[in-house]
Amino acid sequence: GAVVSQHPSRVICKSGTSVKIECRSLDFQATTMFWYRQFPKQSLMLMATSNEGSKATYEQGVEKDKFLINHASLTLSTLTVTSAHPEDSSFYICSARVSSGRFSEQFFGPGTRLTVL
Amino acid sequence: GQNIDQPTEMTATEGAIVQINCTYQTSGFNGLFWYQQHAGEAPTFLSYNVLDGLEEKGRFSSFLSRSKGYSYLLLKELQMKDSASYLCAVRDPPDSNYQLIWGAGTKLIIKP
């Protein structure tokens, strides 16, 4: 199947700093990329949907000025958590959608665990 | 509203069979997905159903009844490595981005 990479896999930062997470589709061009957040023992929560070359669509309750998404190309999307606080500590996962005939499947990156001290 | 229900946790024995149910109420329907997620890892795709019936893939099978808003994931010959959370997700059109609506996941515990 298609491969999606995410970098970094784990980051620890001080409160008030900004953290950038990269999501790359390695062997395909992703029509759409999704950013999720997952707290312990909870399901995936969609934060935003991004299409290459256009502004991301944010879910209700997600601050677009705090979670900056840049979808520069069909293979790269970045999520920047600005002025991170301890409550932003979570598992951030990206996925990329590829059209493959019968259905459009989402392939997930390995996730980034963010810990804000 | 949009709602997907699945049991929070299930326990089964190695070598046995387990069925994880998922019911959904969504404004539309364009396919149901099952994903497996091990602790601390991202989800991996297991199966996709868009028509009624059973889809079999090795030890895993998934069933869908659109009229009942119901699906199940059947795992046979359980192995210890099958201990994970299993997520049910529904794609609800006409969103052109093909967003998925996610259930909370079922944590499956396999005992020797």
* Residue B45 clears pLDDT 60, i.e. is over it: yes
pLDDT tens per residue across span B29-38: 889 999 999 9
pLDDT at res. A37: 95
Asked if the Cβ–Cβ distance from B41 to A32 is below 8 Å, we say no
Asked if the Cβ–Cβ distance from A43 to B105 is below 8 Å, we say yes
> Omega of the bond prior to B94 within 30 degrees of 0, cis?
yes
pLDDT tens per residue across span B81-112: 999 999 999 987 655 566 788 899 999 999 99
pLDDT tens per residue across span A43-87: 889 999 988 878 899 998 999 999 999 988 889 999 999 999 999
Distance CA A69, CA B97 (A): 16
Mean pLDDT throughout B37-63?
92
pLDDT-derived band at A106 (thresholds 50, 70, 90) equals confident
Q: Which of B50, B100, B104 sits opposite A106 (nearest CB)?
A: B100
Asked if the Cβ–Cβ distance from A44 to B40 is below 8 Å, we say no
Q: Which residues of A29-43 are buried (b: 16+ CB within 10 A; e: fewer)?
A: ebbbbbbbbbeeeeb
pLDDT-derived band at A107 (thresholds 50, 70, 90) equals confident
